[in-house]
A and B are shown apart, each in its own frame.
Chain A
Amino acid sequence: MTDAWVLPALPVAGFIVLLLFSTWLPRKGDWIAIALMAASFALVFPIARDVALSIGNGNFQGVERSREWLNIPGYIEIRMGTFVDQITLVMLFCVTLIALIVMIYSTGYMRGDKRYGWFYAIVSLFVASMLSLVLADNLLLLYFSWELVGLCSMLLIGYYYDKQTAAEASKKAFITTRVGDVGLLIGIIILFTQTHTFNIQDILRMAEAGEISRQWLTASAVLILAGACGKSAQFPLHVWLPDAMEGPTPVSALIHAATMVVAGVYLVARLLPLFEVVRGMPELITALGLTTTTIAVFCGLAQRDIKRVVAYSTLNSLGLMFVALGSGAVGAAMLYLLTHAFFKALLFLGCGSVIHATEEQEVDKLGGLWGKLPITAPMFVVGALAMAGLVPFSGYWAKDEILVGLYNGNLNSIALIVTMISLPITAIYMARLVMLTFFGTVKDAHVHGHAHESEPAMSWPLLLLGALAVVSGFVVFEGVGKALGFHSGFLGFIFNAAEGPETFSVNWGLAVGSVALVVTGLGLGTWMWWGDAEPSKRAAAFSPLLYRLFYNRFYIDEVYQFAIDKIVLATGRVVAVFDRAVVNDSGVNGAGETASFLGWLGKYQQTGKIPNYALAIVIGIVVIFAVAFGYRT
């Protein structure tokens, strides 16, 4: 099998070269980053072929390659390495492909930016970190990569750091995810103290065998889940994701839709055996996912910024993935992750194309762009339909598998009902976004007037992603999987050894029900925002309170702000008083003033006359004489 470490190593090389030399390279060196990214993407295929062959031979448990990193004999041995199994493979494919597409797209979107080389350097570093995150065979390397992707995310959200809101959004994203990351770190440390290893497979084996005490296992599971929630923007740590849209749009597509935010999903999927051992944990994961989904769909209804609506749809999708994980449907979650990467990247890049064309991102000022953007508009609609989950777009198949998973799983049926309710609302706000942006009346003639379709570097990625958003869902069918060289469809591919082969099945009741709900939602949304969108204005006027609640995102940010002001800052003020009075005045200044006072006392011993000093020297010599003779008698 190809050595998988090469995959992250290539973008790291790109990062270093661009960081040091991009100023002097032609085109700021973007072609280096893109070439290395393409090589990295190409190298996924040999790995995929090997995995496919291994699965064909039966009993595939993943391939681990590691080397010694730290060894204190008889005390501790830590190995670092890569682990490749089906989940990893899905992530590798999706990360490298989306990164490549986004990098090509950015050559158009970011052209002429004054920090163009820096952009490509950081994106390369991000891809490298993300790849090493998914390849890590141990929690330590995973944690390093986890922090690195967080760092890159912060740097890229704050890419326009001379803009106040961008600087604050990057700070918010970093601090909010950090809350979760601390949990993750503590969880990893707890697991290490209990198992004396960082190796993920060993830890899972021990957890399943019951070799870790129940309390510690529960504690570490909750803490690691907190880390996953922070990264994947699950309630209550979801507040950073909408603000993260301050970054350049390609970054939103790559990091805040397709790859980094699903790191939490990946982590939970990777450690799912551990979570399932802990009682109540699947229910907790599902509850968090449902809460996030619910908040997201309602907020999505009322947002005015085109990217924010898509950001809330990302929250919505991430919530669904967590729900799927909670119900144990890893295959469904991974399928959703894969298809979501395509259609959400499509939506974001479509947003970017609209913003690029109009230099406007308030939906209130857009409208009637369908004819103006002949490629962007249809592709955006494809993405929106996939997000809404209309058959046969890719989102439908993944979402349907989640519903089947919930139906078959042993969770309370409330989860299924809430998820079903969220479907038409998702459809409504996606319809709203499309209607307000591309149809409806022209609200701002100037914006409408100078709109133009983007250049090929931006429209070809859209077309490619559009195609993927349509067809990627078909991998659930066994025939498609076999045609791609695997032994079964997507679900059987993910669930290989642990629970036996699983095949794609259609629950006709759920399928018809969900399609009916989505169609209803889409129709309702189209009607409400058709033309001058009169029905929607009546709806908003009908309940202004509810509208304000949705528009202000349930006031969660304000609650956090209040808590920070009243609790954190109040504590801080108390500590500050202690710092001023005790540490600074008594400790630091006190020491200085004591020395100063002693010096003030001592300075009058100095006459400044050289003979006095010379006398002191000679007397010293005499004393040394006396002492020396005194000893030698």
Chain B
Amino acid sequence: MTQAFFDLVAAVVIVGALGVVMARSTVYAALFLIASLLGVAGVYVLLATEFLALVQLLIYGGAVTVLLLFALMLTHVRDLRERAPEPAQRLGALLAGGGLLAGFITMVYRTRWPRDNGTITSIDFNTIGNALFNRWAVPFEIASGVLLVALVGAVVIAMQEEGEHL
């Protein structure tokens, strides 16, 4: 039962990812991305970390994707279609991605993984909350600072200058 759920989720993630990198239409690619990210949320559920799954849905499925769609819209992507990459570049990309995958898989098969008793630890919201605001409080605050700076920076960079027009 769980294995079947994993297979389904994995299929969603991989198909979505393939759609992102191969769809001709940019908007389709964005929709595929949403699917893939939702699949990742499913993976988090399988790993018994519901908090992460929720965050994933909220931030990735919501905010990030919307931002990306805004970007597509603002850059006037004509007819929403992208030209295919140069054959040489696509071949190189295939080789590189395939090579990397082969390397990872080889590594996974070469490694002796710990055999456990078939259980994992479920980490509930309280635990994560306590950890975030006690032990990891300083990195958490720094991260929020980074976010603030990044957003202000983004506004400054994107601001329309004199003589510019969209």
Which A residues are within 8 Å of any B CB, using their own CB? Answer: 611-612, 615, 618-619, 621-622, 625-626, 629, 632
Contacts and interface: CB of A to CB of B under 8 A. Distances in A.
Contact of B92 (A619, A621, A629, A632): A619
B128 interface: no
Given A612-B89, A618-B100, A626-B103, 6 more contacts: A615-B89, A615-B93, A622-B99, A629-B103, A629-B110, A632-B110
Interface in B88-119: 89, 92-93, 95-97, 99-100, 103, 106-107, 110
A131 B32 CA distance: 93
A576 to B, nearest CB: 55
Contacts of A632: 110
In the A-B complex, the 6 residue pairs with the smallest Cβ-Cβ separation, listed nearest first, are A625-B103, A622-B99, A618-B96, A615-B92, A619-B96, A611-B89
Contacts of A622: 95-96, 99-100, 103
A615 B93 CA distance: 7
Nearest to B92: A615
5 contacts: A615-B93, A618-B97, A625-B106, A626-B99, A629-B106
A619 B95 CA distance: 8
A625 B89 contact: no
Contacts of A621: 100
A613 to B, nearest CB: 11
Contacts of B107: 629
Interface string B75-98: 000000000010001001101110
A612 B86 CA distance: 11
Contacts of A612: 89
Nearest to A615: B92
B136 to A, nearest CB: 30
Interface residues of B, number: 13
Interface of B: 85, 89, 92-93, 95-97, 99-100, 103, 106-107, 110
Contacts of A629: 103, 106-107, 110
Contacts of B89: 611-612, 615
A611 B89 CA distance: 8
A606 to B, nearest CB: 15
A625 B96 contact: no
A339 B97 CA distance: 99
B130 to A, nearest CB: 38
Contacts of B103: 622, 625-626, 629
The B interface, classified by DSSP as helix, strand, loop or mixed, is helix
Nearest to B101: A622
Contacts of B96: 615, 618-619, 622
Most buried by B among A611, A621, A622: A622
Nearest to B106: A629
Nearest to A625: B103
Interface centre among B85, B92, B97 (most CB of A within 10 A): B92
A625 B99 contact: yes
Contacts of B106: 625, 629
A610 B99 CA distance: 20
A626 B99 CA distance: 9
A632 B107 CA distance: 11
A618 B110 CA distance: 22
Contacts of A618: 96-97, 99-100
A610 B153 CA distance: 23
A625 B27 CA distance: 35
A618 B104 CA distance: 13
Contacts of B100: 618, 621-622, 625
A619 B94 CA distance: 11
Nearest to A612: B89
A632 B106 CA distance: 12
B84 to A, nearest CB: 13
A612 B100 CA distance: 17
A611 to B, nearest CB: 6
Contacts of B93: 611, 615
A307 to B, nearest CB: 74
A509 to B, nearest CB: 106
A612 B93 CA distance: 9
A621 B110 CA distance: 18
Nearest to B85: A611
B87 to A, nearest CB: 13
Nearest to A628: B103
B132 to A, nearest CB: 33
Nearest to B96: A618
A238 B65 CA distance: 93
A632 B109 CA distance: 13
A621 B103 CA distance: 10
A618 B93 CA distance: 9
Contacts of A619: 92, 95-96, 99
A612 B97 CA distance: 14
B137 to A, nearest CB: 35
B98 to A, nearest CB: 9
A619 B97 CA distance: 9
B88 to A, nearest CB: 9
A163 B96 CA distance: 75
A632 B110 CA distance: 10
A631 to B, nearest CB: 12
Contacts of A611: 85, 89, 93
A629 B92 CA distance: 22
Contacts of B85: 611
A447 B153 CA distance: 80
A632 B93 CA distance: 27
A612 B99 CA distance: 17
A506 B89 CA distance: 112
B146 to A, nearest CB: 24
A633 to B, nearest CB: 9
A493 B110 CA distance: 100
A615 B92 CA distance: 7
A615 B95 CA distance: 10
A70 B103 CA distance: 64
A625 B107 CA distance: 9
A612 B96 CA distance: 12
A618 B102 CA distance: 13
A615 B90 CA distance: 10
Contacts of A626: 99, 103
A349 B89 CA distance: 91
B106 to A, nearest CB: 6
Contacts of B95: 619, 622
Nearest to A617: B96
Nearest to B93: A615
Nearest to B91: A615
A619 B99 CA distance: 8
Contacts of B97: 618
